[in-house]
Amino acid sequence: MKSNYVEEDGLYTEDGTVDIYKRPANKLKTGKWKACRFILGNECCERLAYYGMSTNLVNYLQTRFNQGNATAASNVTTWSRTCYITPLLGAFLADSYMGSVPTSPRTPRTDSKG
């Protein structure tokens, strides 16, 4: 008796990968380089925003918040450290306690709020 989703010709993945409807993923429509352009585009935009903001943040803190140069630079350094450490903390929590697969769809929302 044949399953509804698995065929004999190897059309579907055999490693347990599923689509958004919890069906076995189709090898021809998933994986490989299809998602790469979105990941690279997202990372490019994120890096541009990060470095663009960090460059101007010292000047902003000096003019709007009347901070001295050393205080503003220290605050930007703290912000930079926080930006680099929170993904590591999130990865640890996701892998250790929540499971990485259920956490992945929540990542963009959390990343945009951070």
The model's pLDDT over 3-30, given as tens digits with 9 standing for 90+, comes to: 555 445 577 777 877 877 888 888 777 7
Contact at 8 Å (CB) between 21 and 27? no
d(CA 108, CA 114): 10
pLDDT for 1 equals 46
Angle 20-23-28 (CA atoms, 0-180°, nearest 5)? 85
Please name the residue that has the structure tokens 């590591």: 88
Q: What is the predicted pLDDT for the residue at 48?
A: 92
Element (H, E) at 9: none
Domain ranges (residues) in the chain? 1-31, 36-113
* Structure-block tokens of residue 112: 């945009």
DSSP 8-state symbol, 12: B
Question: CA-to-CA distance for 51 and 58, rounded, in angstroms?
Answer: 12
Low-confidence ranges of the chain (pLDDT < 70): 1-9, 31-32, 99-114
Alpha-carbon Rg for the chain in angstroms: 21
